[in-house]
Structure 1
Amino acid sequence: MKINFLKIIIIFFLIIFFGSCSITKNLDPNDYVLEKNKLTVNGKLIQSDSLSRLIVQEQSKKFFGIPIQSMIYQSAKKNSDSIFSLWEQNKNKRKGLKQFLSEKQFLQLKNYYKNWNEWKFKNGKPIALIDSLKINQSLNNFKSYFQNIGYLENIVEFKLLKNNLKEKYATVDYIIKTGPQYYMGDVSLITNSKIIDSIFNNDIKKSFLKKNGVFKTMNFQKERDRINSLMKNNGIYNFQINSIFFDVEIDSTREVYSLPVKIIVEGDNYKKHNIKEINFINVKNSKEYIEKSFLTNQIEFRENEPFNDSLRSKTIQNLNNLDLFSFPSIGYEYLSESDHELSANIFLNPKKKYGLGFGFDLKQSDIEDIGISFENRFKSRNIFKNGENLELSAVGSIGKSNDVTISQVYFDATLRLPKFIFFESLNKRFGSDIQSFVSIGSTNQKNIGLDRTSFRFNLNYAWEKKNNFFNFSLSDVELINNRNINNYFNIYSNSYHQLNQIAQNNTSDPKYFLDDNLSIPTGINSFINDVLNGSLSTIEQNDVQRIQYIENRRNRLTSNNLIIGSTFTVSNNYDNRYDKGDFKQWRFKLKTAGNLTSLFIKKNLDGYRRISDLKFSQFIKTEFSYIKHWNISDNSQFAFRYFSGIAIPFGNSDNIPFSESFFGGGSNDNRAWQVYRLGPGSSGGSNEFNEANFKLALNFEYRFNILGRFNGALFSDFGNIWNVLDDNKDKRRTLESFKDLSEIAIGSGFGLRYDSNLFIFRLDMGLKTYNPAELKNRRWFKDFTLKKAVFNIGLNYPF
């Protein structure tokens, strides 16, 4: 083992050595490979800093010390056609291929050679040779950067440090002396317009130019944009940003570092403009939108109010959200014989009243070998002439699992209204960012598990306020009917094998068995009933408790569920996570079920409340998640996610419905465990679908570029699920104290991603770093092997 490891080390360093030689052997005498960049500011070496982004030329990227992309690029041939032709003319080389390749195949071989070289040029990168032009660009970047933050007298230079040990390699050392930093002195506005002066001084506290603040040139552009928006949002329709100038006085002796600033606004013919009339212009002359009341509600400005450009932008956003018009716009024009009264013309280009959508996808899951999903959507816009949209959808899938056909079909009808239905008095209070949704849906599921049919009704309200999204589901009703409950032990085979083993060890009564195994469902049902009612008294207490747990779980998973509740969700207004490096998202959800219903339904003799002989669920559930991304460099990023959730049953319920519980593992959770295979607690995932009512999760991921469109990731996932405050008494599965947090599982691994511009195709390999299912002295790194690695395939990032 030691000899093999030594061989690997030797081979690894030989690859690095010869790889380095191969990219330098054809260099010109005056060419040097950029080994690294150094940065020294005021005599202090900067190891890693945001200033590195100012350096135009970067050293060639390396993977485990090997410049793979540069080696690929260097191996490519620019004149691949002529090289192949010369090779083709060599009869001795071609003679061997001629015997088994046709002319057509030989031509295809030439195309392969050409395409292979093109791939090298496309995915490789030229070796980074020290370029004096790029060095000068970097020097100018540094000089501008420090001038922009107040170091107006900075000095920037560089030195070339050749590597005596590695021929043709050198380091560029950038040396910066900042000099003194300048500050803002007195700030004053110079204008001949009293209106401009009044508006500016009323909002002066929000100015970016403040006395004694650091002299930052970026603040001047921010202040210019602020003044421009301020004027246009306060009635100055004809204000132009190019009328704003700045005058900075610098002391000629260079001994005074406080610089007075004058803000100059040219022009004196400024007047406040008012919106005198508002016109809707239908560019298609359609009669579809004759009723204007719902459109008026989307307009943020009103007649006889001052012109406000921000309200124009918000109105366009509101009209876009209706999904009724293509690219709505607003234009202004002066009324005749007036120099301050405006007519606002809203141009509307109606979309097609009816829309159809189709789609399909290939899919795979733990219980489905391969399947095809399809989707059909129909939309009717403005169905009741007040901006309502009706959408009908049918989503389904069909696939194979071994020799069993599995399928699922989901039907949904959703009506979206641009107002609060049933609460008309709240429409004005919440403004235009409001919507109501009324949806009815049904699912028919047929698979290798418990075939089920479900029905759902939802009355939902959504609005936006202070850059936060709010969603309140006033009525969220779900009915789940399990149709094939006798098939339970054919699906949940782990439970069956445990019961079968206990039965074989304790009884030989033929009424339980068929071919020496418990028969399903008659034999196994009889055995469970006899054990729990005391007819089979020879069974040990531990086995009785195990049988009791299996039976309770079966009753829970096969029971029909009626959930009547409400849900409230709030989240921040976040941008697309793939376009913004400092992406941040948080989300809080609160759901209650059965509380209001229990006030109107009396208890039966068994102590539970029922509707049509169906016991409804009663619980409270909360979830909180937080995601944050940090850019480390242009090609690397650190991502973090936190999640916690708990669902507490009470009153009419002793446990949580399966559909409302939490699970661990999978491609978007702890990737060292398969989905539903983690937890609860230290139980080891002994069931087919392990779930619980409390969950904690932490995920860390470092993302970086490997080669071209290929990216990598190093990750660590922490978390587990537990049972709390329910009818589960198994100590391995329950969270009884803070000591049980030692059962948080840890998975680590490496991910490979390919960016197709449309999707991120993801392959993650997770290794069990800390496995709480093992004995305490065997939890760390005992399963940290490739044989026990879990591979996850996914689309896009996990968080």
Structure 2
Amino acid sequence: MKTARYSYYALLVLSFLTLYSCSSTKNLPPGDALYTGARIDIKDNKVSKKKKKALRSQLSSLTRPVPNQRFLGIPFKLYIYNKFARAKKGPGKWIREKWGQRPVLLSDLNLNTNVQVLQNYLINKGYFHAQVTGDTTVKNKKASAEYAVHTSDQYHIDKVRFTGDSTVLPQTIRETMPKTLLKPNDPFDLQVITTERTRIDNYLKEHGFYFFSPDYLLVKADTTVGNNKVDLFMTVKPETPADARKVFRINDVFIYTGFNLQPGEMDTSKAGATFYKGYYVVDRRKIFKPKLFQQSMAFDPGDVYNRTDHNASISRLISMNIFKFVKNRFEVVPNSDSALLNSFYYLTRLPKKSLRLEINGLTKSNNLTGSNVTLAWRNRNAMRGGEQFVIRASAGFELQYSGQFKGYNTLRYGLEPSLSFPRFLVPFFNFNTKGGFLPRTTITLGYDVLQRQKLYTMNSFRTSYGFTWKESLEKEHELNPIEVNYVQPVNITPEYIDSAKENPSLYQAIDTQFILGSSYSYTYTNVLNNRPVNGFYLNAGIDLSGNIAGLAMGANINKGDTAKIFGKQFSQYTRLQGDFRFYRKVGGGNSVWANRIFTGIGIPYGNSSALPYIKQFFSGGNNSIRAFRSRSVGPGTFQAPQNAGLLAEQPGDIKLELNTELRFPIVGIVHGAVFIDAGNVWLYNEDPNKPGSLFTNKFLNELAVGTGAGIRFDLNFLVLRLDLAFPVRKPWLPEKERWVLKEFNWGSSEWRKQNLVFNLAIGYPF
């Protein structure tokens, strides 16, 4: 019986493949054939198998044309094209042009051109006596190309020498030669030589040679050394212009604040300019304080020109967010005995005032859906020093559209004014940062109201004073010496109090919270978008509260000694967290393997026995463990009462979360993903109302685990994500029963109701 079934499956697969094979050669022009690709045959036995494989891959990528795309060996796009090949208009034409791909034909192949390209590539890689021949094979309306490659021996570098006199340009080039990319015994490689010329040019640009170019460097190769060796001689071309041989210094710097991008000559006059600490600021309407530009320039008049400071000055001006365009040019000072450059910056201003409206939607895995509206009014250059004054007013709601707790809706609204300065604003100190980004000092005030209908209302007041600065595009720091949060509950309903009696953790959400502290975070990332890339992301931070006040007042909540400020008990804790993400390209670079490890620990002491609710950690939800409802996991092996529903928010002082996800393209903007999430939260101090919630050395045995798959619609500016997940490990079950994969029963409606979690979200989870 099984044999017959297997034979049926084999016949079905064979018929399917035959159908596609026939479909792929439909609609071919008479006398032509479908081009299926190229095969590289490396004939030399002296080449190792590893090098042959690498060389074959490199050469294959150079051949043209590229055959039709295939998935699992089947040219689906070609099949779609052929299916609708005769459609002149309507849906058929649209499908063909949107999803199809025309057949790549043998007539598209130029065999001689490919032979020349492959041979040139081999010569550039040091195979100076390489020979390539090509031929084609046609069978059943399908054609392929075969290239026979005779590499001969590869030449290697014997010596590298730079020749030149004792003038400043050759001397500067000699300074950088210890870091040359051209190493003895390395294979000859024209690409490395080109890169070496660029490296030397970059070094010269950092040392004042503004007009130098890589094209002024000449590399000669002597292949007569013998033993397949080559000597390289580098020199500066004799025809190199005189200005390219000079070290230039910055003379005058002119900054024009009202450039309008209209065609015509650039203004170079000093009329109406204000001279401030070496800079000429042409601001005829007196819109800016000259001090602003002195802080923005990365070099001073008299400095030797270098490209880093050149680019940094432009970047710093743009990062102030008050100029729409920044244009820069240099001009040689005429009739000067020295090599001097005048620098001109032309700035096009953004509108001083603007109004911005943002509307977004959200959905959560506990059936909450909603929207938020933010109206922001901005005054750029509020005090003539590049300050940004912003007032944000926001309002939002969350509705539960189904489930036991339908009608327990959430309303939020608030107001946040902030004032930021493009510098460090520290009393009695005056310092700046280097690089292409200006530091920024921000003072923020905020008031928010959170109203959970039928439950409670929370008033929140907050203020902060802090700094952000970037070392580079990858490294950013944020330091807030002063952070104050005050959260006060009002209008707590009897219904909520009754629920809290059954689940005492609900009292934490309505505690009065007074946080007086500081925070610091550091971010490093070389992943600047969600495209497939090899890289990583790190965000690490520390948050402190009440330590000075607690030490001064000698607070010890364990002994019943609590301290208050303005009649309110303040929180005292140290909170650490780290978010590490690692990305790696797979599948030829079209897919990405994304991983995240999140750790957090909050240590309450002195005036507190637990972290304040707004500082605690949660697990479960769209961007966490997607197989569990939002904020429902833990702490530890504790499980909230089954009737908690919408109120089952389980916070912890300690968190560990591990996520791994494989993302891959499907077709067009549609991408897929499979993932595994694991994690939990725990309490730092034991809570008798939550047995099993304390963090112990058995924490790894208390992790919740879920898995699933998802579809993403990636529009570049927006990613819509749909994930479906289910748990495979439930930490609240008895220790030997926590793995529940064996209970998987997709056909059971009751199992699906209890286990499947659908997540709809905007953006990638990490």
TM (normalized to structure 2)? 0.82
Tell me, in whole angstroms, the C-alpha distance in 2 between the residues paired with 1:9 and 1:598.
76
Partner of 2:361: 362
Task: Quote how far apart the aligned CAs of 1:145 are.
Answer: 5.1
Partner of 1:663: 618
Partner of 1:499: none
Tell me, in whole angstroms, the C-alpha distance in 2 between the residues paired with 1:37 and 1:27.
20
Partner of 1:461: 467
Partner of 1:435: 440
**Contact 1:192–1:268 (CA<8 Å) still a contact in 2?**
no
**Contact 1:280–1:346 (CA<8 Å) still a contact in 2?**
yes
Tell me, in whole angstroms, the C-alpha distance in 1 between the residues paired with 2:763 and 2:592.
15
Task: Quote how far apart the aligned CAs of 1:317 are.
Answer: 0.6
Aligned residues: 707
Q: Residues 80 and 780 (structure 1 numbering): CA distance in 2 closer, same or farther, change over 3 Å? A: same
Residues 62-120 of structure 1: CA distance to partner in whole angstroms, max 9, x if unpaired? 55665443332221143435xxxxxxxxxxxxxxxxxxxxxxxxxxxxxxxx1343123
The question of 1:263 aligning with 2:235 is answered yes
Partner of 1:644: 599
**Aligned mate of 1:124, from 77, 84, 100:** 100
Tell me, in whole angstroms, the C-alpha distance in 1 between the residues paired with 2:597 and 2:111.
43
**Aligned mate of 2:571, from 602, 607, 617:** 617
Which runs of 5 or more structure 2 residues have no equivalent in the other structure?
A: 260-282, 401-405, 747-751
Task: Quote how far apart the aligned CAs of 1:440 are.
Answer: 0.9
Matches within 5 A, 1:396-411: 396-398=395-397, 400-401=399-400, 402-403=406-407, 406-411=410-415
Partner of 2:78: 70
Partner of 1:209: 182
Partner of 1:744: 703
Tell me, in whole angstroms, the C-alpha distance in 2 between the residues paired with 1:5 and 1:647.
60
Partner of 2:580: 626
Tell me, in whole angstroms, the C-alpha distance in 1 between the residues paired with 2:427 and 2:120.
57
Task: Quote how far apart the aligned CAs of 1:437 are.
Answer: 1.0
Task: Quote how far apart the aligned CAs of 1:261 are.
Answer: 2.9
Partner of 1:230: 203
**Contact 1:654–1:727 (CA<8 Å) still a contact in 2?**
no
Matches within 5 A, 1:168-187: 178-187=151-160
**Contact 2:217–2:234 (CA<8 Å) still a contact in 1?**
no
| SS of alignment partner, residue 721 of structure 1 | strand
Tell me, in whole angstroms, the C-alpha distance in 2 between the residues paired with 1:450 and 1:329.
55
Which 10-residue stretch deviates more, 660-669 or 151-160? 151-160
Tell me, in whole angstroms, the C-alpha distance in 1 between the residues paired with 2:685 and 2:725.
32
Tell me, in whole angstroms, the C-alpha distance in 2 between the residues paired with 1:651 and 1:213.
64
Task: Quote how far apart the aligned CAs of 1:475 are.
Answer: 0.9
Task: Quote how far apart the aligned CAs of 1:256 are.
Answer: 2.9
Partner of 2:632: 677
Q: Residues 399 and 588 (structure 1 numbering): CA distance in 2 closer, same or farther, change over 3 Å? A: closer
**Contact 1:38–1:46 (CA<8 Å) still a contact in 2?**
no
Tell me, in whole angstroms, the C-alpha distance in 1 between the residues paired with 2:350 and 2:369.
38
Counterpart AA for 1:74: N
| SS of alignment partner, residue 553 of structure 2 | coil
Residues 160-211 of structure 1: CA distance to partner in whole angstroms, max 9, x if unpaired? 7889xxx666776666554433333322233457010121122323332333
| SS of alignment partner, residue 120 of structure 1 | helix
Task: Quote how far apart the aligned CAs of 1:55 are.
Answer: 5.5
Q: Residues 121 and 268 (structure 1 numbering): CA distance in 2 closer, same or farther, change over 3 Å? A: closer
Partner of 1:91: none
Q: Residues 429 and 376 (structure 1 numbering): CA distance in 2 closer, same or farther, change over 3 Å? A: closer
| SS of alignment partner, residue 600 of structure 1 | helix
Tell me, in whole angstroms, the C-alpha distance in 1 between the residues paired with 2:544 and 2:39.
59
Q: Residues 596 and 162 (structure 1 numbering): CA distance in 2 closer, same or farther, change over 3 Å? A: farther
| SS of alignment partner, residue 425 of structure 1 | coil
**Contact 1:371–1:397 (CA<8 Å) still a contact in 2?**
yes
| SS of alignment partner, residue 632 of structure 2 | coil
Tell me, in whole angstroms, the C-alpha distance in 1 between the residues paired with 2:709 and 2:241.
65
| SS of alignment partner, residue 311 of structure 1 | helix
Tell me, in whole angstroms, the C-alpha distance in 2 between the residues paired with 1:241 and 1:438.
48
Counterpart AA for 1:760: V
**Contact 2:624–2:677 (CA<8 Å) still a contact in 1?**
yes
Counterpart AA for 1:283: G
Q: Residues 399 and 690 (structure 1 numbering): CA distance in 2 closer, same or farther, change over 3 Å? A: closer
Partner of 2:534: 582
**Contact 2:379–2:390 (CA<8 Å) still a contact in 1?**
yes
Tell me, in whole angstroms, the C-alpha distance in 2 between the residues paired with 1:766 and 1:115.
35
The question of 1:724 aligning with 2:723 is answered no
Tell me, in whole angstroms, the C-alpha distance in 2 between the residues paired with 1:55 and 1:684.
61
Task: Quote how far apart the aligned CAs of 1:344 are.
Answer: 1.9
The question of 1:278 aligning with 2:253 is answered yes
Partner of 1:705: 665
Matches within 5 A, 1:56-205: 56=64, 60-61=68-69, 67-81=75-89, 114-127=90-103, 133=109, 143=119, 146-155=122-131, 178-191=151-164, 194-205=167-178
The question of 1:18 aligning with 2:19 is answered yes
Q: Residues 137 and 793 (structure 1 numbering): CA distance in 2 closer, same or farther, change over 3 Å? A: farther
Partner of 1:541: none
**Contact 2:364–2:630 (CA<8 Å) still a contact in 1?**
no
Q: Residues 404 and 428 (structure 1 numbering): CA distance in 2 closer, same or farther, change over 3 Å? A: closer
| SS of alignment partner, residue 249 of structure 1 | strand
Task: Quote how far apart the aligned CAs of 1:469 are.
Answer: 1.3
Task: Quote how far apart the aligned CAs of 1:702 are.
Answer: 2.1
The question of 1:317 aligning with 2:315 is answered yes
**Contact 2:35–2:104 (CA<8 Å) still a contact in 1?**
yes
Tell me, in whole angstroms, the C-alpha distance in 1 between the residues paired with 2:653 and 2:55.
44
Superposition RMSD in Å: 3.6
Task: Quote how far apart the aligned CAs of 1:304 are.
Answer: 1.7
Residues 705-749 of structure 1: CA distance to partner in whole angstroms, max 9, x if unpaired? 222222222222232323334546745333311x33023333222
Tell me, in whole angstroms, the C-alpha distance in 2 between the residues paired with 1:53 and 1:726.
62
Tell me, in whole angstroms, the C-alpha distance in 2 between the residues paired with 1:622 and 1:482.
27
Identity in percent: 23
Tell me, in whole angstroms, the C-alpha distance in 2 between the residues paired with 1:784 and 1:50.
44
Matches within 5 A, 1:566-605: 566-579=518-531, 581-601=533-553, 603=555
Task: Quote how far apart the aligned CAs of 1:569 are.
Answer: 0.9
Tell me, in whole angstroms, the C-alpha distance in 1 between the residues paired with 2:126 and 2:574.
56
Partner of 1:102: none
The question of 1:450 aligning with 2:456 is answered yes
Q: Residues 681 and 20 (structure 1 numbering): CA distance in 2 closer, same or farther, change over 3 Å? A: farther
Which runs of 5 or more structure 1 residues have no equivalent in the other structure?
A: 82-113, 490-519, 529-546
Tell me, in whole angstroms, the C-alpha distance in 2 between the residues paired with 1:17 and 1:260.
57
TM (normalized to structure 1)? 0.79
Which 10-residue stretch deviates more, 115-124 or 177-186? 177-186
Task: Quote how far apart the aligned CAs of 1:292 are.
Answer: 0.8
Residues 416-435 of structure 1: CA distance to partner in whole angstroms, max 9, x if unpaired? 11221125535147677321
Q: Residues 304 and 667 (structure 1 numbering): CA distance in 2 closer, same or farther, change over 3 Å? A: same
Which 10-residue stretch deviates more, 149-158 or 555-564? 149-158
Task: Quote how far apart the aligned CAs of 1:326 are.
Answer: 2.2
Q: Residues 731 and 290 (structure 1 numbering): CA distance in 2 closer, same or farther, change over 3 Å? A: closer
| SS of alignment partner, residue 562 of structure 2 | coil
**Contact 2:376–2:391 (CA<8 Å) still a contact in 1?**
yes
**Contact 1:124–1:707 (CA<8 Å) still a contact in 2?**
no
Partner of 2:723: 764
